[in-house]
C-alpha cells in the first residue's frame, strides 16, 4: 500500500514537472518567435516581468525600463496563467494613432475584454471600462452631451461652493483660530460628497461623518435616516473603488483562494446598484410631480441623474423609456453610467486637490500670486459667493492645477488597445495588444518642457515659451475618442475649490520639512500629510 502511495506521489511529481517544462518551453518559444520583438526585460513564465518590480516598485521599474530600453518597450503581465504584453510609449510622436479622433481608428478600446470587468458588470456597460465598441459608442452618445451641458457645468460651481461651506461649518465646530487637518483624508471625503451631490443630487455626509468621529459631543445629523443610509452608500462606493483593482486578478485566483473577497465585492456592487436604481425611481417620480405642478424642472434639477431622466426617460408620456438608435435608455443603462462617474470623479479630484495644496505650501510665492489674483477677480470682496464668471477669469489658478498635474499626474499612464492589427514605431501589433502612454516620463522630458523639474505654473499661461507645443505632449485627461468626458467639469470643480479656499484662508505645512509621499497603482495617489489653516 505504501509502495502504491509512493508511486502515486512520484507520478504526480513527474506529471507536474513535465507539465511545467512543456509550459515553459512553449512560453519561451512564443516569446522568442513573437512577430514584433520590442525591447524589454525577458519575462518569466506565469509571472511575466512582475517579479522584477518587487524591489523597486512598479512605477520605478517602468521608469527604469524607459532609461534602459528607450521610448518604446514592453513588459509582461500575468493573467490567468497566460502572460500578455503591454507596450509602453514615451514620445508624443508614438501616440498619434492611439489617441486618434477618427471614428475609423483601431484604438477605440481602453483595454481588451476582461472576464473580471464582465463579472463586475462593466464589460459591456457604461463608457470607462466598456470593451464592447458598439455599446461604448451608444453610451458615449448618451453621457457626453450631459457632462458638457452648460447648465451642469455652471451648477458645478454652485455645488462645489456649497460643499465647501458645509466643510467650513465642521471646521468651526472643532477649531478656533488655527485649523489642523490631515488633508488627504479630508479631500477624499470632500470629493465623495461632491461627486455624489453632482451625480445623484443628494447629500452623502462623508465630511460630516469624518468630523463626527473626531467630535464626541456634536454629532451632526447622525440620527437622521438620510445620514445612516448615506454611510452605507459611502461604504459601497469605497468597495467599488477597491473592486476595480481586485477584479483585474485572474478568475481562477478570485474563484478559489480569494472567493470570500470576490463574493463580498459582488454583493457590495449589487447593493450599490440597487441603491442607485432606487434613487432613479424616486427622482423620476419627483420630477413628474414637479412637471404636473408647473415647476421649472430644468432649473431645479441639474445633477447628472436628473439630466439623464429629463433628456432620455421622462417624455410626454411621463416615464416611458426612450430609445436612441435602437438603444433602450433603461434605468440599468442610466445607473451604469452614473456609477462610472464615481470612478472618474472622486478619487482623481481628491488626489489632484491634495497635490495642489501641497505645492502651494511648498512654494509660497505661487500661493501669494493666487491670493493676489483672487482679490483682483473678486474686487477684494472675498466674503461674496464665487460665480461661474469668476472661475472663467481664474487663469492662473488653472495654470497652477495644470503644472501640479505635470509634476505629479493622477494619470501617469494612459491605456489603450487596438481592435485590429496596426503599426506603431515601426512594429506591427496584433489586435488586442495593450498600449500604455507613459505620460509621466513625457512630462519630465526637457525636450518638451523647459526645466522639467522646476515647479513653474507660468509655463501654462498664455504666450509662455516654457510649455511644450508638441502635439500629445500634455494630456491630463487623455485624448482621442476615449478622452475623459468630464474634463471640463473637473477643472471647474478644482478651480472653484481653490478660489473658495484661498479667498478666505491661508495654508501651510504643519511640519515645515514635510515631504511629498506618493503611492502608485493605476495612478499616483497623494499620501497623508498635515496642514495648518488660518484666516487670511
Which amino acids are annotated as binding site for heme, given as ranges?
484
Which residue positions form the known binding site? 484
* 55 grid coordinates: 524591489
The closest of 494, 529, 489 to 512, measured between CA atoms, is: 529
* 340 grid coordinates: 462610472
Contact by Cβ (8 Å): 505, 166: no
| β-pairing verdict for 323-324 and 327-328 | antiparallel
Beta strands in 166-274 (DSSP E): 179-182
Radius of gyration of the chain (CA): 25
Calculate the alpha carbon distances from 341 to 25, 127, 168, 186, 215 in Å: 45, 10, 26, 20, 32
Contact by Cβ (8 Å): 131, 114: yes
240 vs 234: CA distance, rounded Å: 10
**76, containing H or E segment:** strand 72-77
Contacts of 423 by beta carbon, 8 Å cutoff, 6+ apart? 429
The closest of 388, 325, 302 to 135, measured between CA atoms, is: 325
311 vs 197: CA distance, rounded Å: 19
* 330 grid coordinates: 433603461
Q: Report the SS3 class of residue 383.
A: coil
For 131, counting Cβ atoms within 10 Å of its Cβ (0-12 exposed, 13-18 middle, 19+ buried), the class is buried
* 245 grid coordinates: 483593482
The closest of 263, 269, 399 to 336, measured between CA atoms, is: 269
Torsion of CA 130, 131, 137, 138, to 10 degrees: -60
Calculate the alpha carbon distances from 251 to 78, 261, 438 in Å: 12, 12, 28
Phi, psi at 499, each rounded to 5°: -70, -45
Amino acid at each position: 500500500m505504501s509502495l502504491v502511495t509512493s508511486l502515486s506521489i512520484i507520478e504526480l511529481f513527474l506529471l507536474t514537472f513535465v507539465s511545467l517544462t512543456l509550459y515553459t518551453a512553449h512560453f519561451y518559444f512564443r516569446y522568442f518567435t513573437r512577430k514584433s520583438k520590442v525591447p524589454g526585460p525577458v519575462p518569466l513564465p506565469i509571472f511575466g516581468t512582475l517579479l522584477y518590480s518587487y524591489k523597486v516598485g512598479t512605477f520605478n521599474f517602468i521608469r527604469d525600463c524607459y532609461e534602459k530600453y528607450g521610448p518604446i518597450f514592453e513588459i509582461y503581465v500575468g493573467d490567468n496563467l497566460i502572460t500578455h504584453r503591454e507596450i509602453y510609449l514615451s514620445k508624443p510622436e508614438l501616440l498619434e494613432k492611439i489617441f486618434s479622433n477618427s471614428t475609423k481608428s483601431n484604438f477605440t478600446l481602453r483595454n481588451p475584454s476582461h472576464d473580471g470587468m464582465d463579472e463586475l458588470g462593466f464589460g459591456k456597460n457604461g463608457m470607462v471600462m466598456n470593451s464592447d465598441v458598439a455599446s461604448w459608442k451608444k453610451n458615449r452618445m448618451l453621457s457626453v452631451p450631459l457632462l458638457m451641458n452648460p447648465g451642469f457645468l455652471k451648477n458645478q460651481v454652485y455645488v462645489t461652493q456649497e460643499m465647501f461651506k458645509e466643510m467650513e461649518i465642521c471646521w468651526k465646530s472643532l477649531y478656533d483660530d488655527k485649523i489642523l487637518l490631515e488633508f488627504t483624508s479630508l479631500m477624499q471625503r470632500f470629493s465623495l460628497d461632491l461627486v455624489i451631490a453632482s451625480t445623484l443630487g443628494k447629500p452623502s455626509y462623508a465630511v460630516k461623518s469624518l468630523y463626527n468621529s473626531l467630535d464626541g459631543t456634536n454629532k451632526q445629523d447622525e440620527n437622521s435616516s438620510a445620514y445612516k443610509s448615506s454611510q452605507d452608500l459611502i461604504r459601497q462606493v469605497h468597495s467599488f473603488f477597491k473592486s476595480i483593482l481586485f477584479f483585474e486578478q485572474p478568475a481562477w485566483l478570485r474563484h478559489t483562494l480569494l472567493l470570500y473577497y470576490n463574493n463580498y465585492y459582488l454583493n457590495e456592487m449589487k447593493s450599490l446598484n440597487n441603491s442607485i436604481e432606487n434613487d432613479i425611481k424616486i427622482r423620476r417620480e419627483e420630477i413628474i410631480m414637479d412637471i404636473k405642478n408647473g415647476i421649472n424642472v430644468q432649473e431645479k434639477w441639474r445633477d447628472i441623474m436628473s439630466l439623464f431622466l429629463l433628456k432620455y426617460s421622462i417624455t410626454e408620456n411621463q416615464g416611458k423609456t426612450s430609445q436612441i438608435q435602437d438603444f433602450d435608455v433603461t434605468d440599468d443603462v442610466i445607473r451604469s453610467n452614473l456609477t462610472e462617474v464615481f470612478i472618474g470623479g472622486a478619487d482623481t479630484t481628491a488626489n489632484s486637490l491634495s497635490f495642489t495644496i501641497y505645492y502651494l505650501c511648498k512654494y509660497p510665492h505661487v500661493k501669494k500670486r493666487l491670493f493676489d489674483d483672487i482679490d483682483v477677480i473678486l474686487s477684494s470682496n472675498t466674503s461674496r459667493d464665487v460665480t461661474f464668471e469668476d472661475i472663467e477669469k481664474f487663469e492662473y489658478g488653472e495654470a497652477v492645477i495644470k503644472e501640479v498635474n505635470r509634476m505629479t499626474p493622477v494619470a501617469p499612464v494612459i491605456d489603450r488597445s487596438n481592435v485590429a492589427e496596426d503599426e506603431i514605431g515601426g512594429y506591427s501589433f496584433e489586435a488586442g495588444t495593450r498600449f500604455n502612454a507613459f505620460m509621466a516620463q513625457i512630462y519630465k522630458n526637457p525636450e518638451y518642457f523647459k526645466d522639467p523639474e522646476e515647479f513653474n505654473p507660468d509655463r501654462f499661461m498664455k504666450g509662455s515659451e516654457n510649455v511644450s507645443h508638441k502635439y500629445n505632449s500634455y494630456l491630463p485627461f487623455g485624448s482621442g475618442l476615449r478622452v475623459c468626458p468630464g474634463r471640463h467639469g473637473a477643472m471647474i470643480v478644482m478651480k472653484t475649490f481653490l478660489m473658495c479656499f484661498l479667498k478666505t484662508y491661508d495654508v501651510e505645512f504643519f511640519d515645515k520639512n514635510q515631504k511629498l509621499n506618493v503611492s502608485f497603482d493605476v495612478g499616483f495617489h497623494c499620501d497623508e500629510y498635515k496642514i495648518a489653516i488660518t484666516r487670511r
